[in-house]
Each structure stands twice: as structure tokens, then as C-alpha cells.
Amino acid sequence: MSAPSTRSVPSPVPDTALTDFLITHQLAEPGVATRWTPLAGGVSSDLWRVDLPGRSLCVKRALAKLKVAADWQAPVSRNAFEWAWMRFAARHRPDSVPELLAHDPTAGLFAMAYLPPERYPMWKAQLLHGEVRTVTAAAVGELLGSLHAASAGDSALAAEFATDDNFHALRIEPYLLATAAAHPALAHVLEGLADRTVRTRLTLVHGDVSPKNILVGSSAPVLLDAECAWYGDPAFDLAFCVSHLLLKSLVVPGRRAELTTSAHVLAEEYARCVDWEPQPALEARAASLLPALLLARVDGKSPVEYLAEERQRLFVRTVATALLRAPAPTVADVVDAWAAALSASTGRGTSRPAGPDRGETRA
């Protein structure tokens, strides 16, 4: 997406503090017209594309009250931790985060490079349109695992990202505890998962590894939106990402086999990177968290928007409840249970293909 002509009429600046931020950090000259275009994104921040003469960039500002129906408050200090997570990722996988340009921690603002969608399509959009490539899932799993491995046992990172309050406000309470309140019969299980998660401190966690926050670049996936960054349980990131692939199988029925295969492959590639703890221990935590996160996307504070039919939500509740009451030992077992339930509900097979074509180029 090329920047508009500098002679076009600029859109109104949302806030003069934003223009001042650009000028202070020498990203724009005083008096030079800028075009601010709001970008669709998550519920926790405002995001703009800013067109300047000869270049475009993105500016992100954290919100104190998130844009959901429920009352969901979170500290804007998370913007600084997102910036810090992206700096960490840039040191280890520079192709997998946007170029970082400027940061104002007091204002909860930062600027980064704009990545045009024709070159960096959103993984969520691809999946919902039925464009399911297992090589993309494999690349995401490897990227996530390598970043976790790079941060494991790092006491300096553990101190820098002791963001328990942020993670509780953004993930533990709205996902696990709110869902426990909606399902009293499962409350002891969900509250136990919450307690275990907050007590586990092993790697730097992104906290929102969702297809909406992953761009499919030509050389590597690009991770965005690390507002939930926390030094804690890596099983959360793995389970969170796999949950999205499974949920999308309910609304892209023609690609169910490919989506469940993608979930398998992502977990397999991630597992190849696990060297900081016994792999079965991480698998067990991820497998028990996965149904909790599936249920949270129906009955927590941030339900996914695409499960519009009650029968879809009922399917999630039924499968997730069974897995919470009788936990599976591995992520693969959860995926297989989900696929089997899908097959039983439709009367059609959902056999798993042999795996990704390893000759394809990863994207």
C-alpha cells in the first residue's frame, strides 16, 4: 500500500500530543502535513497509519479501558513492556518484528515501521479466507519456540518483565477467572490453571500470539502486539496460538483438516526448540490450558467475533468442558479430540493429511 500523495487533504490529527510526539522524536518536521488513518486492530490500543512525505509509519497508544462490552481496565504502562519485548525480539529475530522508531513511555506511545498488507498479509485474514498453509504454522511454531528458548533462565529479563499486574489484568482475569465465574462447575479447575500459570516463571511470554497479530512475511512471520509481555509460563503462548487455529475450523469447514494439521505442525515445530525444561512437562501444561482458552473465547471477557451461531459456541463448551474434566497429556491429543468431535458432529471425516510439504517455501 503506497502512501497517499502529499498534496491530498490530510485527515484530522486525533490528538496534538501525537503530532508533538513525531516532532520531538524527529520523525516529522514542524508544519509538515501528516495524514492519520485509524487502523483496525485489537481492543486494547489505538493504532494509526501516519503518512508523511516520502514515508509511512505506525503509531500505537495504549488505552486504559479496553474496547469490549465488559468493564475491562488495564494499566497503560504495558505499552513500555511491549516496546521492550519488541526490542528483545529484534535482537534475536530481526525479520520477525517491525523496525522500531521511537518511544514515549510516559505517554504510552511508540512508533514503528508500517508494513504494507500486500507484502505482509495478516495470518488471520488468510485463514478465514481458507488460505491455510501448514508451512506458515510451522514457521510460527519455530519462531515462538526460538524466542522462548532465547529468553529461558535469563534473570535480567525476568526482572525487567515482572509484569504480573499487567498479565493478570490482560490475561488471567479476563480469560481464566472470568470464565470460571461463568462456569461455576469448572471454577476449581480454571482457578487452578490460573494459579499454576502465574506461579510458573521460565521464559519471556508474548501473551497474545494470535493470527491477528501475525503477519506473513516473505522471509519469516512478523509478530505484533506484545502488550501482555511477561516473564512466565511459555505454555500459555503455545496454547493461545493453537486455540485460534482450532476455533477457526468451526467457520472454515472446507479447510478443517488443514487447520487441525496446522495446529499439530505448529506444536511439533515449537517442541523442537524446547530445551529449558522437560518437554512432557511443558506439553502437559499447554494441553490443560488449551481447553480453558477455547472456553474463554466463548464465555470470557473477549469472545471471538466470528463464532456468531449458538451451535458453534455450544460445540466449544461441550468439547472444552470434557477436556477440562479429563485433561489430555499433550497438545496433539487435544487437537485430535477436537478433530474427532468435529467429525462426529458433521458425520464427515476430518482425517489428518500426512503433513506439510517440506519443499514449500516457509512464509
Tens of pLDDT along 273-323? 999 999 999 999 999 999 999 999 999 999 999 999 999 999 999 999 999
Q: 3-class SS at 90?
A: helix
Q: 3-class SS at 45?
A: strand
Residues spanned by CATH 3.90.1200.10 within the chain? Answer: 123-346
d(CA 73, CA 173): 11
> In the predicted model, is pLDDT for residue 350 greater than 50?
no
Q: 3-class SS at 42?
A: coil
Query: pLDDT of 90-149, one tens digit each?
Result: 999 999 999 999 999 888 889 999 999 999 999 999 999 999 999 999 999 999 999 999
Please say whether the structural domain 16-113 has been given the CATH code 3.30.200.20: yes
Strand pairing partners for 49?
37, 58
Residues spanned by CATH 3.30.200.20 within the chain? Answer: 16-113
Query: pLDDT of 8-17, one tens digit each?
Result: 334 566 778 8
CB atoms within 10 A of CB 296: 28
Q: 3-class SS at 66?
A: coil
CB 204 within 8 A of CB 231: yes
* Predicted structure pTM score: 0.88
Torsions phi, psi of 261, nearest 5?
A: -65, -40
Quick one: pLDDT at residue 189? 98
> In the predicted model, is pLDDT for residue 329 greater than 70?
yes
Mean pLDDT across the chain, nearest whole number? 88
CA 204 to chain centre: 14
Homologous superfamily assigned to 123-346: Aminoglycoside phosphotransferase (APH), C-terminal lobe (3.90.1200.10)
Cell numbers of 52, please?
508523511
CB 87 within 8 A of CB 100: yes
CB 77 within 8 A of CB 242: no
